[in-house]
Structure formats: structure tokens, C-alpha cells
Amino acid sequence: MKVNILGAPVDRVDMEGALHFVEKAITENKPKHIITLNAEIIYQAQSETELMEIINQADLVTPDGAGVVWASKELGNPVPERVTGIDLLQEIAKKANATGWRLFFFGAAPGVAAEAAEKLKESYSNINIVGTHHGFIKTQADEDQLLQQISEAKPHILLVALGAPRQEYWIKKHKEKLGIPVNIGVGGSFDVISGRIDRAPKWMQKVQLEWLYRLIKEPTRFKRMLALPKFMGLVKKSTKKS
């Protein structure tokens, strides 16, 4: 079941459904692309055909963010809950601790992915993180070396934290050749898990104000967030048409 938000098909899944998808993808062993989609990216895709294509070709698109939850209600086809990249990563870590799934962390500034891996090991002593790499690749040689490192590590799940939509383009480009069953873009998650950036308190997440917390912590996000009212305007307009 999906809800079409301005041309972007969002799966009406909750966290349990998303985890079930991951489990199945690992069993099937064919490369799958999971996007945790927020309103900013849907808005950007309105004028970026290639991005809209990638969203439409993704194997699972989860509702990430208050804007997407709001839009699904507005369109009369509500999603059950937010399934954000960081929450999905935390749940995967928990499950990987029990199942032995191999994880690879790619992205964020040098050292951050490794720190995030260390932090998760403190909570999940059996977790198998088979490799980490920063996300600032400059040359083709660096990229070739990274692809080789990932291939040799043979993860079940590749977590790509380059920010959206850079990570979506990266996954699209490399997914088939790498052949890893689960590929997920997780934005700034490693910054938070490593402890370099605080996440909004639980109560703010619950009342859909996580975006406000992020804005206060990182005021440079302001420009990006201007997309949200524009996104809401387009959704309103589309409900009037139908």
C-alpha cells in the first residue's frame, strides 16, 4: 500500500514493516534500495526528474518527517508513523546484534562512521560491523578503493550517510555492481550516533517538532527548510484538483 505524494510513491509502512522488508531482502539476496523520504526531497524532486525517477524505482520508500506524515493525512491516505533513517538504523543494529547481519557504514566526516560503530558496539556487543569509511571521496582511485573495501567486506546491509539526495544518487549508481542486499541512505545519522550532534528530545520527536530542534542546532538548515511551506502549498493545491 502506497500513498502518492506529488508524484512520489511512499510506502505506508511502520517500523515493523520496514524491518520485515530488510529481513526478506537479505533472504532474497538481490540488491534493494530503501529511501527514507522527507518533504524537502519530494519538493526538490518536483524540478529534478532524475531524482523523482530514483524515488519511483526504489524498492521501499518510508515516510521520514512530519511533512510527509501531514501530507499523507491531507491526501486521505495516512501513513502509520514516521520511519526515519536514524530510527531504522537503530532497529537494524538491535536486530543485527541477534542475527549476525553484517553492516557497513559509509559516510560522514573522517572518523565519524568508525565512532558511530564503536558507540553501537557499547550497546550491542555482538554487532558485526564489517567496515567503515568516511563520505568525502575526492578521486576515482579513492572511490575504486572504497568499492573494493565494501565488496570484500560482503555486508548484508550498506548504510550510506552522505545526506539526501547525494546518498540516493550514490546508491542508484553502485547498487547493482556491489550486489549488497540492502542499501539505505541514512543522512546525518552517524553524526548523531557518534555523539557529535544531539538528537531532539523524545517529546519533541513525538509532537513532530524534530525539525525545529535541528533548525535551532544547525541554523544553516534554514534555507533548506524553506521548501516545507512550498511543499505544503503544492499538496494543498493537489487535493483541490482531485
Name the grid cell of 51. Answer: 531524482
Q: How far apart are CA 229 and CA 242, in angstroms?
A: 20
Answer yes or no whether residue 116 interacts with ligand UDP by CB under 6 A.
no
- Entry field: residues in the chain: 242
Closer CB to ligand UDP, 75 or 197, in the complex = 197
Q: Are 69 and 5 in contact (CB under 8 A)?
A: no
Answer yes or no whether residue 107 interacts with ligand UDP by CB under 6 A.
yes
Give a three-class secondary structure readout of 73-130. Answer: HHCCCCCCCCCCHHHHHHHHHHHHHHHCCEEEEEECCCCHHHHHHHHHHHHCCCCEEE
Minimum distance from CB of 241 to ligand UDP (Å)? 30
Answer yes or no whether residue 161 interacts with ligand UDP by CB under 6 A.
yes
Answer yes or no whether residue 204 interacts with ligand UDP by CB under 6 A.
no
Backbone angles phi and psi of 20, in degrees to 5: -65, -40
Q: How far apart are CA 212 and CA 95, in angstroms?
A: 30
Closer CB to ligand UDP, 111 or 229, in the complex = 111
Q: How far apart are CA 179 and CA 171, in angstroms?
A: 11
Answer yes or no whether residue 182 interacts with ligand UDP by CB under 6 A.
no
Q: Which stretch, 26-34, 92-100, 116-124, 186-194, contacts ligand UDP (CB under 6 A)?
A: 186-194
Q: Which stretch, 3-11, 74-82, 103-111, 199-207, contacts ligand UDP (CB under 6 A)?
A: 103-111
| Member of 22, 69, 71, 164 binding ligand UDP (CB under 6 A) | 164
| Member of 66, 108, 182, 235 binding ligand UDP (CB under 6 A) | 108
Residues that bind ligand UDP (CB under 6 A): 107-109, 135-136, 161-164, 166, 187-188, 190-191
